[in-house]
Amino acid sequence: MAFRTRTANLRMRRYATSPQLLHISPGKPPTLEDSRIPLTTTNQYSTMSGMFAPSRRTPNFSTGLNTADHIERYLQEDGHNTWGFNEFMDRLRYRIRQTLEFYNGLDLMESLGLNVIEDREKLDDVEASVLREHFKTWAESAPQREQGSAQASETQVWGSQRYLYCMLVDAEALESVVHWVEAPPASDTRSEGFVKIVSRYWEPYGARDRDPPHEAIEGCTEDDVGWMMMDYSDVVVFYRLLRDRNSWYIVYKRPPNVACA
């Protein structure tokens, strides 16, 4: 898959809204009992036969090419009932549904839950590093509370995108989605609307002579600043890709560039 990059035309206007952490979440995974072609497990998928098995959602294509199949596999692998990162909501939900519909995966909408963490006193005008600490605190107890299963072990949580990344919606991101682009069903062909994705376990490398310094972003002159701007229409696609933690380094674009699938 090729990735596009767009540089945001940032407006400096401020709005009376505090940053919010969002997570995409799907209650109960869909049953596969009635499927003509069941999804492969992660181990099966690693084999050639599993990779190219037809998708029950899109039989003309392999399960390896279906994003909805991948997300359902991850739910089963982790023993989780909810997935995700988390109005904007109406537009975000529309884009999520639009992507799942393309992959014939609308059954996953039944288990989609969008959680918002909003605390004006603690989160208003804070930097991504501060939000990261709040997210870490939330993520420590969220798996057992949300998934309601003993399977929500540290090993499984470690691989779940829902507890590795959070979506930051500040005034800038909110304006880009609500005011810069046309409302759905019109397409955001210029990738103007974006959200900010924050990595839970990011840490600065420190100064390295071989790396030329970049313009400081929140005091960081490294290439990877621990968060990136992502086309909001591509949230589901990136949710799938970020299952592999190394994918962060593949899809990452330094702000103000916007990562697009």
Average pLDDT over residues 147-154: 61
Nearest to 245 by CA among 120, 157, 143, 147: 157
Question: Which amino acid, residue 206?
Answer: G
Q: What value does the mean pLDDT of the chain take?
A: 76
Q: How confident is the model at residue 20 (pLDDT cuts 50, 70, 90)?
A: very low
30 three-class SS: coil
Residue 258, strand partner residues: 6, 229
Task: Output the pLDDT for position 47.
Answer: 47
Highest mean pLDDT among 153-157, 203-207, 246-250: 246-250
120 or 101, which is more confident? Answer: 101
Average pLDDT over residues 165-180: 84
- Phi and psi, residue 187, nearest 5°: -85, 145
Place of tokens 């800038």: 172
Please state the domain extents for the chain: 4-260
Average pLDDT over residues 16-43: 38
Q: Could you tell me where the DSSP H helices lie in 103-147?
A: 120-123, 128-147
- Residues 6+ positions from 184 with CB-CB distance below 8 Å: 91, 94, 95, 98
Q: Could you tell me the CA-to-CA distances from 164 to 177, 185, 209, 228, 259 in Å, in that order?
A: 24, 30, 30, 14, 18
Task: Output the pLDDT for position 6.
Answer: 58
> What count of other Cβ atoms lies within 10 Å of the Cβ of residue 144?
14
Rounded to whole angstroms, how far apart are CA atoms 26 and 70?
13
Q: Is 44 a residue whose pLDDT tops 70?
A: no
Task: Output the pLDDT for position 68.
Answer: 85
Structure tokens given for 96: 């999520």
Task: Output the pLDDT for position 28.
Answer: 39
pLDDT tens, residue by residue, 225-245: 999 999 999 999 999 999 988
Place of tokens 């409302």: 183
Asked if residues 12 and 260 have their Cβ atoms less than 8 Å apart, the reply is no
Task: Output the pLDDT for position 259.
Answer: 95
Task: Output the pLDDT for position 83.
Answer: 54
Average pLDDT over residues 148-171: 73
